[in-house]
Amino acid sequence: MAIQNNPNLYTAGNVVFDSRPATMFYLQSMAHKRAKEEAMDNYFRDLGKNLTPKGMSPDDVPEFISKSNAYKQFAIENRDALRNPSRDNGQALMQANSLYNDALEHSARSIGKVQNISKIPNLNPDERERLMEHGWNAMQQATLPVSDPNYRPFSPSDINYNPAQYTGKDEADFISNITKNRIPYEEKTFGETNPKTFLRKETTRKVYTPEAFKGIAEDAAKEYNSNASFKQEFDKLFNGSFNEKTGQIEISPEYNEAFKQVYGKDIHHPQELAAGYFLNKIQKESIKTEDVEDKFAQAKYMEDKRQAGRVALFNKKKDAAKLLRKGDSGWVNPYIEGVIQDAESRLPGEQGQSLYKESPLINDPLISKALIRNGVEPDVIRYKDGKLEPIYYQRYLQDDQSNKGAYAKGDIIKDAKGNPQIIETLSKPISIQQAKALLLNVAPNTKLDAMEMGMIFGEDEGGGGDELGFEWK
């Protein structure tokens, strides 16, 4: 068997080492180092992906991009120090984190600003007019770039309005409220009556007690303290009373006097001005002057007119009777003139015929006989537009209420409103000349007795009707 010798026997005593384990360790160490570096690179790369302008306000994006780029540039330039923080005791890593957080915070604030701006209300014209300056400033500050030192998120509490304008309706409502439970007594005075229109001036003055006026003033003072619009109005009125030349507040004398009558002193405060204002206004509004109808004077005038009409009718009929005795047909002129004058002297519709209250009514037996048509006397004769208008009513048959008898002497047929139904074929107006002709036509066929003479011509002539003993001619 061959003898195999150890190779080391011929190396002159030198020892040979195995380097493979060391090589393996080195390779492993380098691999670990590269893995660590790659992990750090990935970490910072992933962080960079989070820096995005999505959802940001456009006016914040340029600065955000600048901050983001600053972070990325720093990470590139300091890659070794970021891979091995121990080299500079972590200074580069802290700086990179600071730059990153600054960019990220900028983005978050901008996104929050966009959401915050959505809370700003959409003001209507009245609200825009009354919005206080602080509210305008707050809305403007909320839209500034987030890096602006004046930027400030909006809060609903920033919105405050100046009081609404105090209106005439507000004033009227307030006066109504403070006077409704304070009932004054009234004093009336009258002026002269206009003889043409029967109108006269009537002045009504509402008189409040001193206690009522003091209560009104106290209510105005309370309203000043509780109603911002009210307060604003009288602060403005008070401040507007300042005289720059004299350096004094010069209150309107009428307001000051009204206040002084209640409190015995002058006005020195807007609250007192409010009291004086309403005391004066209520005093003014408590006096009312208007034209009213003097019914007594009108009634006296109409009575005088009626009396004159009766006298005129009496005289006209006397004249007619004298002419009639003589056989003079001219009697008809004064007769019909007197009848018309008498009708005009009475109030329209005075005889109770409400349907014809706009026209004078004639009530005369001879004219009624003259206007008989188809054996029917007119129910109403009115004088209108210079003509006589006889009106004939439809009537029921006395023995049968279900049928209409145009010429029967029964009850008058009325419509649903209670107005008499008219016979249109008979109710036609006639001229005065036609009426005179009808009077002349009826006279020869009419024998008047003493009573009829009295009814037609008056008592003085009526008694002698039979004695006269004449036929109409």
Q: pLDDT means per 10 residues in the chain (473 residues)?
A: 51 56 60 59 63 86 87 82 80 86 87 86 77 79 88 82 80 88 76 78 80 89 89 86 73 89 90 90 75 78 74 74 67 81 64 51 81 85 87 75 52 84 88 81 52 47 32 30
Tell whether 110 is covered by a domain.
yes
In a domain, 421, yes or no: no
What integer pLDDT is reported at residue 453 of this predicted model?
46
Same domain, 208 and 287: yes
Closest CA to 238 of 280, 277, 283, 282: 277
User: Domains in the chain: how many in total?
Assistant: 4
Token digits for 59?
């006016």
Phi, psi for 108 (deg, rounded to 5):
-60, -40
CA distance to 20, 227, 270, 278, 443, per residue, from 260 (Å): 119, 24, 15, 13, 85
State the pLDDT at residue 459.
Answer: 46
Q: Can you tell me the distance from the alpha carbon of 439 to that of 434, in angstroms, rounded to the nearest whole number?
A: 9
Give a yes or no: residue 176 inside a domain.
Answer: yes
Sequence-distant (6+) residues with CB within 8 A of 159 are 121, 131, 135, 138
Determine, yes or no, domain membership for 303. no
* 184 inside domain: yes
Residues 181 and 215 in one domain: yes
Strand partners, 185: 207
Give yes or no for a contact between 51 and 75, defined as CB atoms under 8 angstroms apart. no
| 325 & 432 share domain | yes
Q: Residue 371 has what pLDDT?
A: 86
Q: Do 325 and 461 fall within a single domain?
A: yes
Would you call 327 exposed, middle or buried from its count of C-beta atoms within 10 A (0-12, 13-18, 19+)? exposed
| The overall pTM is greater than 0.75 | no
Residue 182 and residue 139 in one domain? no
What is the SS3 assignment for 6-74? CHHHHCCCCCCCCCHHHHHHHHHHHHHHHHHHHHHHHHHHHHHHCCCCCCCCHHHHHHHHHHHHHHHHH
Are residue 143 and residue 184 in the same domain, yes or no?
no
Both tokens assigned to 136: 């305008």
Q: Could you tell me which of 464, 471, 465, 468 has the C-alpha nearest to residue 447?
A: 471
Does residue 417 lie in a domain region? Answer: no
Do 326 and 460 have their domain in common?
Answer: yes
CA 466 to chain centre: 78
Q: Which domain holds residue 86?
A: 36-117
Q: β-pairing, 287-293 with 430-431?
A: unpaired
Query: Is 149 a member of any domain?
Result: yes
First-last CA distance in the chain: 204
Strand partners, 422: 393
Query: CA–CA separation, 117 vs 434, rounded Å?
Result: 94
378 shares a domain with 257: no
Instruction: Give the pLDDT confidence score for residue 248 in this predicted structure.
Output: 74
Q: At residue 282, what is the residue type?
A: I
Domain boundary among 228, 258, 293: 293
In what order do the strands lie in the sheet containing 287-293?
Answer: 185-193, 199-207, 287-293
Q: Measure the CA–CA gap between 167 and 229, rounded to whole angstroms.
A: 9
Q: Are residues 358 and 463 in the same domain?
A: yes
What is 201-246 written as a DSSP string? Answer: EEEEEEE--HHHHHHHHHHHHHHHHH-HHHHHHHHHHHHTTEETTT
Tell me: do 184 and 70 sit in the same domain.
no
Residue 209 contacts residue 230 (beta carbons within 8 Å):
no
Determine the Cα angle at 404 with ends 402 and 405, to 5°: 130
Residues 364 and 463 in one domain: yes
**Is 301 contained in some domain?**
no
Euclidean distance between CA atoms 104 and 107, whole angstroms: 5
Q: Are residues 59 and 178 in the same domain?
A: no
